[in-house]
Amino acid sequence: MKSHALIPILPFLLLATATLQGGEENHSRRDDSRPNIIWIIPDDMSANFSCYGETAIGTPNVDQLARRGVKFTNAYVTAPVCSTCRSAFITGMYQTSIGAHHHRSGRGTEKIHLPADVTLVPKLFQDAGYHTSITGWPLNGKLGKTDYNFEWDDSVYDSNDWQDRKPGQPFFAQIQTAGGKLRGKDEDGWNKIARQAKKELGSSTPIDAVTLPPYYPNHPNILRDWAAYLDSVRLTDAMVGEVLERLRREGVLDNTLVLFMTDHGISHARGKQFLYDEGLHVPLVIAGPGVSPATVREDVVEHIDIAALSLAAAGIEIPANMQAKDILASDYQARDAVFAARDRCDETVDHIRSVRTNGFKYIRNFLPNRPYLQPCAYKDAKAILIALREDHAAGKLNEVQELIFRDVRPREELYDVKNDPHEIHNLAEDPAYANKLKELRDRLDRWMEETGDQGRKPESAKMYNSDMKVYTDRLALPKFDPDHLKEVQDNISLMKKWAAEGK
């Protein structure tokens, strides 16, 4: 693997030390040449960009960013849902190691506190003299999406806009955008984004441009949803162009490390909340000072690595206990595997782990007696899930499309992702792959042990009930449909029933 290091960081380290020792006055020095760092992170979006091989649409701005820097073709999140993923990348730690592995947890009377030796990335930047900000796009005067599962102090962000920094002060900025959520969950959302695409881009994506993965049927609503999703990708690409143009207009683009990544894959039946590549595989493109242009990296990397590489680019010491790696370092030793975990999502209890190499994916289902599509009010409200269930009930699905409707799961799944990229053919019981199965089974066991996977113990009833009260209290507000609240309450009762049965 070719090394693609950033420019030597020693001058940055010396400058960072001087800045810290010199107090506030040095923070505004005009000769502070440390690079700015900006993260652009949309929600719910897979690598459906033309530089990643998508042919139905064009994404000129992300493509141009890739030409200016490095494109990672095998970047994976460690959690396929917003809050757990975000809790991981903002600390550079596996969410399972810091107790943040259950989606939207610690929101009630029961709280989650970070280990004493774990510091949020923006705090590390702030302590080194950087201005820190987090926003959406376009700017709306508010802080952008955080969604962390632990207690934290919002003073780690100085504002919602890097323009608020002192003269000459370098900045660490995050732009968190709606991404795939722009398409909504049904026809109203699809129509809205089509109108937006026509207004801003001159056209919307036609349904006949859509090619679905083989595990989804060509149901009209699934096709319409995917076309709307592709428009969300196009609009996200246009937003990237606007951000880059602002940096160029302000004269800071050449000294800004720009990182583009999504928080997990597309929100679909087999994507978000699952450990198949549709939920885990994300784009990761980085361009800026010292990054070799037009570079492609095929080694597997984890989304938490953005924490370490960003600190290193700024000359800030990476905490010794941080699990993220500086994947841009000249002496970086490539990972040979990446790991992921899915636990409770909203009211729906689950426990899945995976390990993936460049050639194989191993998934372990710790609750094999539960159906794949457990009841989940958030996902079940989507028109695409309703369409899938309609075709399933009508007997219209083929064998591959029926896989996700199994009432039970295999305890282990093994996929040859080179020859079976859609992860359809489970090889776990094939004697020809017994050695590979054992190798990855053991590898996952070691990872859970070495990283202190807190998901090895079930979530306490006290914590579950605490978070469910926050969830149901919110849904009880007049603006929400009472039927939706009833569905969530029924699902909570079912989760408790199944747990009592050992299911």
Per-residue pLDDT of the chain (503 residues; tens, 9 = 90+): 333 333 333 333 333 433 333 333 333 344 589 999 999 999 999 999 999 999 999 999 999 999 999 999 999 999 999 999 999 999 999 999 999 999 999 999 999 999 999 999 999 999 999 999 999 998 888 999 999 999 999 999 999 999 999 999 999 999 999 999 999 999 999 999 999 999 999 999 999 999 999 999 999 999 999 999 999 999 999 999 999 999 999 999 999 999 999 999 999 999 999 999 999 999 999 999 999 999 999 999 999 999 999 999 999 999 999 999 999 999 999 999 999 999 999 999 999 999 999 999 999 999 999 999 999 999 999 999 999 999 999 999 999 999 999 999 999 999 999 999 999 999 999 999 999 999 999 999 999 999 999 999 999 999 999 999 999 999 999 999 999 999 999 999 999 999 999 99
Type of residue found at 15: L
pLDDT at 141: 87
Number of neighbours of residue 457 by Cβ within 10 angstroms:
7
What does the alpha-carbon distance between residue 310 and residue 12 come to, in Å, rounded to a whole number?
12
- The H-assigned helical ranges of 69-146 are 82-89, 121-127
Tokens of 41: 């992170």
Using CA atoms, how far residue 484 sits from 5, 379, 468, in Å, is: 50, 12, 14
Whole-structure pTM value:
0.93
Q: What is the DSSP string of 156-188?
A: G--BS-GGGSPTT--EEEEEEE-GGGGG-SSHH
Residue 31 CA, distance from chain mean position: 35
What does the alpha-carbon distance between residue 226 and residue 238 come to, in Å, rounded to a whole number?
19
HSE of 371, CA atoms in CB hemisphere, 13 A: 13
pLDDT at 31: 57
CB 275 within 8 A of CB 80: yes
pLDDT at 32: 87
pLDDT at 140: 85
pLDDT at 7: 35
- CB-based burial of residue 204 (10 Å sphere; 0-12 exposed, 13-18 middle, 19+ buried)? buried
Type of residue found at 66: A
Q: Tens digit of pLDDT for each residue in 335-349? A: 999 999 999 999 999
What domains can be seen in the chain, in order of their start residue? Answer: 10-186+229-330 (3.40.720.10)
CA dihedral 403, 406, 412, 416 (to 10 degrees): 0
DSSP H/E element including 482: helix 482-500
Using CA atoms, how far residue 61 sits from 23, 121, 222, 232, 388, in Å, is: 39, 27, 27, 14, 34
What does the alpha-carbon distance between residue 421 and residue 438 come to, in Å, rounded to a whole number?
21
- In angstroms and rounded to an integer, the radius of gyration of the C-alpha atoms of the chain is 22
